[in-house]
């Protein structure tokens, strides 16, 4: 595998200490969201093959509830996940660091 730009790998289970005042665990919340999203996609594929699996359907519903709670927590603490995220009274999200403006190093996240 060719890694020409030599950028560090992103460690997502970290705390954000960005200068924009974003305290908290944005990286950890994002990692949890990505993990739950992956599990949801896999369960949907499984249910395509085994549509009568009550256990898989119950787990899917549980993960969907978990994802909704994580998305709400992320958007409350870190900003919108999509343009269709929570309603806002101002357009301040553009003043926060963009994903490519955050340097990931070890277990700490710092803005450049």
For the segment 23-69, what is each residue's pLDDT rounded down to a tens digit? 458 888 999 999 999 999 999 999 999 999 999 999 999 999 999 99
Q: Tell me how far CA of residue 55 lies from CA of 42, 43, 47, 69, in angstroms.
A: 14, 10, 10, 21
Domain assignment of residue 59, yes or no: yes
Is this model's pTM higher than 0.75 or not? no
Domain assignment of residue 50, yes or no: yes
Mean pLDDT for the stretch of residues 76-90: 76
Domain assignment of residue 62, yes or no: yes
User: Of all residues in the chain, what percent carry a pLDDT higher than 70?
Assistant: 62
Sign of CA dihedral 38, 12, 30, 32: positive
Q: What is the pLDDT of residue 40?
A: 97
Domain assignment of residue 67, yes or no: yes
Q: What is the pLDDT of residue 106?
A: 45
Mean per-residue pLDDT over the chain, rounded:
73
How many domains does the chain fold into? Answer: 1
Domain of residue 52, residue span: 15-79+98-111
């Amino acid at each position: 595998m060719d890694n020409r730009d030599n950028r560090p790998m992103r460690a997502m289970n970290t705390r954000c200490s960005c200068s924009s005042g974003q305290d908290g665990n944005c990286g950890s919340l994002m990692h949890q969201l990505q993990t739950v999203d992956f599990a949801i996609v896999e369960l949907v594929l499984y249910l395509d093959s085994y549509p009568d699996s009550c256990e898989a359907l119950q787990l899917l519903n549980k993960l969907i509830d978990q994802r909704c709670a994580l998305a709400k927590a992320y958007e409350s603490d870190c900003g919108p996940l999509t343009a269709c995220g929570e309603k806002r009274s101002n357009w301040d999200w553009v003043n926060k660091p963009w994903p490519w403006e955050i340097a990931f190093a070890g277990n700490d996240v710092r803005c450049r």
